[in-house]
Amino acid sequence: MKITKIMYLIPLLVLIVSFSITQNVYAQTNTPPTINILKPTPGLYLSAISITFIAGATDPEDGAINHLIVWTSNVSGFIGNGFNITTKLPAGDHTITATVTDSGGLTSEVSVSGIKVVASNQAPVITIETPSTGDIFGNGEPVTFEGSAIDDYDGDISETMFWISNIDGNLGTGPSITTSELSVGIHTITVRAFDSFFWQGINSVTIMISDEAHPIPNPSWVNVSINESNSNWNFENQVHLRTVLTKTSEFDSSFNDEPLTVTVQTTNPDTQALLSTRTGTVTFGGLVNQGVTVYNNWHGGIEFVQFDILVTDSQNRVYSSLFSQTLTNPSYDPTIVTITSPQNNELVKGKFDVSAVLSGFEGTTTVKFMVDGITVYTDTTSPYETSLFAKDFSSGDHTLVVEASDANSFDTDSIVFRKR
């Protein structure tokens, strides 16, 4: 009987022991959950803009437990619950911690530091050191661009600067680049940089690439003109020509506060002699479109004249401009020589008189009498006359030319006389 009772108790004992062992094994194999933060990442954030917090948590026994995640900050404390939340943080250097606890009471946490929240932000300040607006370079000449980009929180971000030409496109990145590949033309070079908030800093400079290997600036950059009006008449038989230089663009910046030599000349030597004052020195101030004046006395009468105005700067660079104008002197007394004897086609014989009268000439005047291109008489005082002998000429037609000239004027007259 006792043996039978014992036999009945043995299975019960085995079941109890088995259950106890199973419970112990379960308790010993419970592992803590794992958790990872995807956002935010270290960087700069604005207190006025919401920040996204994303994390994932799993547990070997419980599976996904994202809904149990708790977010906290070392600055502001509790942030919120859940695997994906959006909220604002106050200014400060935050360390963000995400914590999760499984059903077995085991807790895991993970933190991310370097979350700098600021109350305000400014775009980067970009400075272009070189070149300067208005600089001129020859075709193929190396051009170096240097600058800096400073941000209020990121500090020196010059390495992120990128340079762009409105003609040639991207030129390169960084605080200093050099290129000799710029196309001929007027370039607006823009440089940009972005800070951690993707706020953009921007600056630009305008330069010229000349089609000359060693550039002589385009004449259109200096607007040179000669203006004459009745109010500019000076002395008798003279007119003032007003040479006005006008800065027409930023490329004239090199003219600021430096002397410029202005030379007015013509392609006609006879006309050039009528300009009593041909050079002058002027200085620009800092204002664009500021005119300056050089006066030239015109001694001529009515004449269409093409002037070549040359402007030389302190570096001996020459700017030139052509200007054409018909000059009219209302008080001008034309210089005229008229042969009074013999008459045109007159038949001469024996001794005959040769004479001329002048008007408009000033000062010492030289009068030459020439027959068939040979000077036969010269006179410098009035009356301008002499006598010739027909026997000294062959039969037929002969041309008499009388030339008269003073320091500023010149005129001729001619007739034909005959001898049998």
pLDDT in tens, 72-99: 999 999 999 999 999 999 999 999 999 9
| Most confidently predicted of 75-84, 250-259, 268-277 | 75-84
Three-state SS at 59: strand
What is residue 284's predicted lDDT score, i.e. its pLDDT? 46
Q: Count the residues in the chain.
A: 420
Does 345 or 29 have the greater pLDDT score?
345
What is residue 314's predicted lDDT score, i.e. its pLDDT? 62
Bond from prior residue into 259 cis (ω within 30 degrees of 0): no
Residue with tokens 């940009």: 192
Express each pLDDT in 212-248 by its tens digit.
554 444 333 344 444 444 333 333 444 445 555 554 4
DSSP calls for 150-184: EETTTEE-GGG-EEEETTTEEEEESSEEEES-PPS
Q: What is the mean pLDDT of residues 49-55?
A: 94
Question: Is there a contact between 282 and 292 (Cβ–Cβ < 8 Å)?
Answer: yes
What is residue 208's predicted lDDT score, i.e. its pLDDT? 82
| Most confidently predicted of 26-35, 198-207, 277-286 | 198-207
Res 255 pLDDT > 50: no
Res 341 pLDDT > 90: yes
Q: CB neighbours (10 Å) of residue 268? A: 12
- Enumerate residues 6+ apart whose C-beta is below 8 A from 316: none
What is residue 285's predicted lDDT score, i.e. its pLDDT? 44
62-76, 316-330, 372-386, range with the lowest pLDDT: 316-330
What is residue 138's predicted lDDT score, i.e. its pLDDT? 81
What is residue 360's predicted lDDT score, i.e. its pLDDT? 76
Q: d(Cα 28, Cα 91) in Å, to the nearest integer?
A: 45
What is residue 405's predicted lDDT score, i.e. its pLDDT? 83
Does 281 or 284 have the greater pLDDT score?
281
What is residue 228's predicted lDDT score, i.e. its pLDDT? 42
Instruction: Please tell me what DSSP assigns to residue 233.
Output: B
Res 59 pLDDT > 90: yes
What is residue 29's predicted lDDT score, i.e. its pLDDT? 83
Express each pLDDT in 147-196 by its tens digit.
999 998 889 999 999 999 999 999 999 999 999 999 988 888 999 999 88
Res 403 pLDDT > 60: yes
What is residue 76's predicted lDDT score, i.e. its pLDDT? 94
Res 66 pLDDT > 90: yes
Bond from prior residue into 215 cis (ω within 30 degrees of 0): no
Average pLDDT of every residue of the chain: 77
CA-wise closest residue to 183 among 167, 171, 199: 167
Give the pairing type, strands 34-39 and 176-179.
Answer: unpaired
CA-wise closest residue to 221 among 239, 205, 206: 206
Res 34 pLDDT > 90: yes
Q: CB neighbours (10 Å) of residue 270? A: 12
* pTM of the entire predicted model: 0.42
Q: What percent of the chain has pLDDT over 90?
A: 47
